[in-house]
Structure 1
């Protein structure tokens, strides 16, 4: 059975999953990996999730404040053996719920064109493609999304 735990960046399972995510992104992003990596530091993430299959950490996700109305979804990852089981969708929904509980009105995120699984997840979850924001504005590999939250 899959369970999802709220935590933060001090959680050792969250940190282990992020290391595996970073290894995957290094391959997918190629020469652009160093650019993206600078925006994905996890030392001060207050709002993180770890999904478990029994006691095995299977996935992670996080949110951080972008501005007073908006949370940014970060560090979404599911181990390959657990993909296709709805874990990412469940974590994303839980991050949205957490954002609403904290008083935020929308979520935004950035993903890469080399992550078709992520793009499909966000489209399926009613995220809309928006112009690239912030540090991603000039990145042709980036795809940015936004979702208004039901508050």
Structure 2
């Protein structure tokens, strides 16, 4: 039996099912990296104006999420990318990443960056297929053996952010 096609929409991170999914992500990350190397945004942090949260739903159930977090200086950041295990391997994470990149381009950002863990090869493949390349530390993240950093230039299509 095949799963229904996912729908991806912008949603609040403050719903119960989003809170549960973010909790799962935090638990997973703490099994892969020490707490000082985990840069979690809480659902409340994600609800601010600087962040847009994309949620993929399959049959109405939250299956995956990712967020665009805006910074000064024309830089956007990918945050909180997660696909629940039952939905992995179906391209949902890549589709969410595409939405994040598209929004950053539409809003005029010149580059998009991210920090991920050193134990996340599946995530690296998604980012690299989407045109991201490894780089040194980005934004205010410390240089850490537990972190892997990526960046990608964007073809800004509207206003430029200062």
Q: TM-score, normalised by structure 1?
A: 0.89
Q: How does 1:12-91 map to 2 (within 5 A)?
A: 12-29=16-33, 32-37=34-39, 39-45=40-46, 46-91=51-96
Q: Which has the larger radius of gyration?
A: 2
TM-score, normalised by the number of residues in structure 2: 0.84
Aligned-residue RMSD, C-alpha: 1.6
Whether the 8 Å contact between 2:11 and 2:54 is mirrored in structure 1 is yes
Whole-Å separation in 2 of the counterparts to 1:5 and 1:150: 23
Q: Which has the higher helix share?
A: 1
The aligned length equals 148
Bigger mean CA offset, 91-100 vs 63-72? 63-72
Aligned counterparts of 1:98 and 1:12: Cα–Cα separation in 2: 25
The Cα of 1:103 is off from its aligned counterpart by: 2.1
Single out whichever of 1-10 and 112-121 deviates more from structure 2. Answer: 1-10
Measure the CA separation in 1 of the matches of 2:35 and 2:53. 22
Unaligned runs of 5+ in 2: 157-162
